[in-house]
């Protein structure tokens, strides 16, 4: 928490919650370094704390059960020293298979491990200014995947924002996320093709709706003020999901 300003800003109560979640996370996850990278306790803790930040107020309320509820489908965390080149294959409309390489700063696989690179994790305090955070990005994908669909919509609680039924809740979520994504995508295209103003948030969010969700989560958790001024409707939506009003105990 001393390393990252966005964790220092948490209240003492929130820091206690984050400690409980991180302890549970470290107990249940296994870290593997690649290319000779030795994962120290401090490195594992840095990743645990950032991975658990989105869980602070998520159900179930009995911490630290949220770790299993949301991140229970995998054990391994693979840590590369730096970004990696991944071999990719894609077929175009003509049926031609193209092989290419993609630079990855991290990856989250359904029912599989999460990969991040230490270079980016180590400078997460600096890059928070740009709203960038590789750990939160990959774990946001895990939240998105939890309901079996990778669509930019995490598993929403019953009655989310007064909706009736899960389909209505999802429609409400996407009804706010999608227009924000379309507008952002247009801004990125104008910036890249016509020299328009480069958007503040990571342009990678223009890739697809799930990537937009993950990129928006990064910005929301490490640079909330700026994020809220850029995406007010989305910020309120995220507040409703990530910081639901605490139920009063009967």
Please give the residue ranges that form the binding site for Zn ion (CB under 5 A): 211, 214
Q: d(Cα 187, Cα 130) in Å, to the nearest integer?
A: 17
Cβ nearer to Zn ion, comparing 118 with 213: 213
Which residue lies nearer to Zn ion by CB, 169 or 214? 214
Task: Output 124 or 169, the one with its CB closest to Zn ion.
Answer: 124
CA angle 221, 198, 206 (to 5 degrees): 60
Rounded distance between C-alpha atoms, residue 194 and residue 208, angstroms: 21
Pairwise CA distance, residues 105 & 202, whole Å? 13
Least separation in angstroms between residue 90's CB and Zn ion is 17
What number of residues does the chain have?
Answer: 250
Report which secondary-structure segment, H or E, holds 28. helix 12-28
Q: With respect to Zn ion, which residue has the nearer C-beta, 202 or 211? A: 211
Task: Find the shortest distance in angstroms from Cβ 242 to Zn ion.
Answer: 18
Of residues 56 and 145, the one with the C-beta less far from Zn ion: 145
- Closest contact distance (angstroms) between CB of 104 and Zn ion is 9
Our CB check for Zn ion shows the closer of 201 and 214 to be 214
CB of 17 to Zn ion, least distance (A): 26
CB of 214 to Zn ion, least distance (A): 5
Of 105, 131, 120, the C-alpha closest to 231 is: 131
Asked if residue 250 lies in contact with residue 177, where contact means CB atoms within 8 angstroms, the answer is no
The smaller minimum CB distance to Zn ion, of residues 48 and 214, is found at 214
Q: Which residues, in sequence order, are CB contacts of 26 under 8 Å at separation 6+?
A: 44, 45, 48
CB of 219 to Zn ion, least distance (A): 13
Could you tell me which residues are beta bridge partners of residue 85?
103
In angstroms, rounded to a whole number, what is the distance separating the alpha carbons of residues 78 and 80?
A: 7
Query: Helix, strand, coil % (nearest 5) of the chain?
Result: 55, 15, 35
CB of 199 to Zn ion, least distance (A): 17
Residue with nearest beta carbon to Zn ion: 214
Number of alpha carbons in the 13 Å side-chain half-sphere of residue 153: 20
């Amino acid at each position: 928490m001393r390393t990252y300003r966005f964790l220092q800003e948490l209240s003492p109560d929130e820091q206690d919650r984050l400690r409980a979640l991180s302890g549970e996370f470290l107990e249940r996850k296994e870290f593997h370094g690649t290319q000779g990278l030795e994962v120290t306790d401090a490195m594992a803790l840095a990743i645990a704390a950032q991975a658990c930040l989105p869980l602070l107020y998520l159900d179930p309320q009995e911490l630290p059960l949220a770790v299993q509820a949301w991140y229970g489908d995998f054990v391994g965390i693979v840590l590369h020293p730096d970004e990696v080149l991944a071999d990719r294959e894609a077929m175009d409309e003509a049926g031609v298979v193209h092989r290419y390489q993609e630079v990855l700063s991290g990856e989250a696989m359904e029912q599989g491990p999460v990969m991040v690179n230490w270079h980016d994790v180590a400078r997460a305090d600096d890059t928070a200014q740009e709203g960038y955070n590789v750990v939160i990005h990959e774990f946001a994908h895990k939240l998105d995947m939890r309901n079996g669909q990778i669509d930019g919509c995490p598993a929403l609680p019953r009655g989310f924002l007064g909706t009736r039924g899960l389909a209505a809740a999802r429609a409400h979520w996407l009804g706010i996320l999608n227009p924000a994504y379309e507008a952002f995508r247009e801004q990125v295209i104008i910036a890249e093709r016509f020299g328009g103003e480069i958007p503040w948030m990571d342009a990678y969010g223009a890739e697809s709706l799930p990537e937009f969700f993950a990129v928006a989560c990064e910005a929301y958790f490490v640079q909330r003020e700026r994020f809220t001024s850029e995406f007010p409707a989305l910020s309120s939506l995220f507040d409703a999901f990530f910081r639901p009003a605490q139920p009063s105990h009967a």
